[in-house]
Amino acid sequence: MMERTLVIVKPDGVQRALVGEIIKRFEARGLRIAGMKLMRIPRETAERHYAEHKGKSFYESTVAYITSAPVVVMCLEGPDAVAAVRATMGATNPLSAPPGSIRGDLGLSIARNLVHGADKPETAVRELALYFTADELISYERSGDKWLTE
């Protein structure tokens, strides 16, 4: 099933100059970039993004962290994009993430795990609306797309 999902290369990924490596892994998986921008997330947007965690012990530090430096936000699309992104990222705790995943290869700390991806299709729709307008997203086909699925 064709889906779209949100991916954020977090401040640690940008500061460690891993943006290209992270994008490369998603593209190599077969996902297409439908939208992408470098930005600093406003506090209000971060609060809406993490609203379900308000009141939890990590909420304030998470909002402070995601707004502390530039991030790269992307809309990726492809068959089962949410699941494909989650598998490519690896477990939230990099020490539990399998080798070959972004977090498993490049991360050391759960607090600095390089990348965010929506956890389910409904979440992806909500999160994408926080960062992109409809006219900022582009659907297209690449010549190699026919080689990805039957």
Catalytic residues, by residue number, are 116
**Tokens 């064709």 — which residue?**
2
- Report the greatest alpha carbon distance in the chain: 47
What region does 135 belong to: left with phi over 0, alpha with psi -120 to 50, or beta?
alpha
Classify residue 63 as exposed, middle or buried by CB count within 10 Å of its CB (0-12, 13-18, 19+). buried
Candidates 85, 75, 53; CA nearest to 66 is 53
Candidates 90, 133, 117, 101; CA nearest to 10 is 117
